[in-house]
Amino acid sequence: MKKLLIQLGLLIIVVFLSYKVYDSIMEPVRYEKATIDREKVIIEKLNNIKVLEIEYKKINSKYACSFDTLVDFYNLGMMPLVLKNGTVPDTLTEEQALEAGIITRDTTLIAIKDTLLKDVANFDIATIDLVPFTHGKVKFEIESSTVDRANFKVPVFEVRCYKKDYLAEIKEQDLLQNDLSIMNEDGKFPGLKLGSLTEPSTDGNW
């Protein structure tokens, strides 16, 4: 009986140690998957913000400096839509056909919310400022400004969110902290960033 208990105890220890080894091997895999999956969702949202900012600049000659401004722009704003009447012959360019009176162009105004981001599934302008996977507790940081380029003031904007927020609830916190430390040592932004306040760019850091 004593021998059986010892064997059972050893079996439990072996199973436990095997699980710990497996868990340690799988930990970086889970961390990488959680990072990739969550950042994919956040990048999609940042790209929606980019669409709004670019359209806002077309109309206002500057970028929006707050999400309240972007929400009002989407809900209440109007944008020009150029309608073309007629058909361009194969032998002419559109501009030549326009000059010849074969086609005409009319510009009308349409509601931004009726056209912008209509193809984005489940798009909700009311939550455009919230960072996914933070349970509505964390908002994107947004700023706009200008930079000097060739004696001109060029509008710029930047939208930011942080890994420590959108990965706050994952199990692999030791790997997250190590990742953040490495990014800090390398001078990298510790999260996802769209645009720049120092360069006229609308690209992201992904």
DSSP structure string for 169-204: T-S-HHHHHHHHHHHHHTT--SEEEEE-SSSS---B
Tell me if 204 is assigned to some domain.
Answer: no
Q: Each residue of 150-165: pLDDT tens digit? A: 889 999 999 999 999 9
Q: What range defines the domain where residue 183 resides? A: 37-76+120-195
Tell me if 101 is assigned to some domain.
Answer: no
Tell me if 149 is assigned to some domain.
Answer: yes
Tell me if 61 is assigned to some domain.
Answer: yes
Total count of domains within the chain: 1
Tell me if 169 is assigned to some domain.
Answer: yes
Tell me if 19 is assigned to some domain.
Answer: no
pLDDT at 19 over 60: no
What are the DSSP E strand ranges found in the chain?
78-85, 104-111, 141-149, 152-162, 191-195
Residue percentage of the chain with pLDDT more than 70: 87
The C-alpha atoms of residue 157 and residue 56 are separated, in whole angstroms, by 12
Q: 22 pLDDT band (50/70/90 cuts)?
A: very low
pTM for this entry:
0.78
Tell me if 144 is assigned to some domain.
Answer: yes
Tell me if 135 is assigned to some domain.
Answer: yes
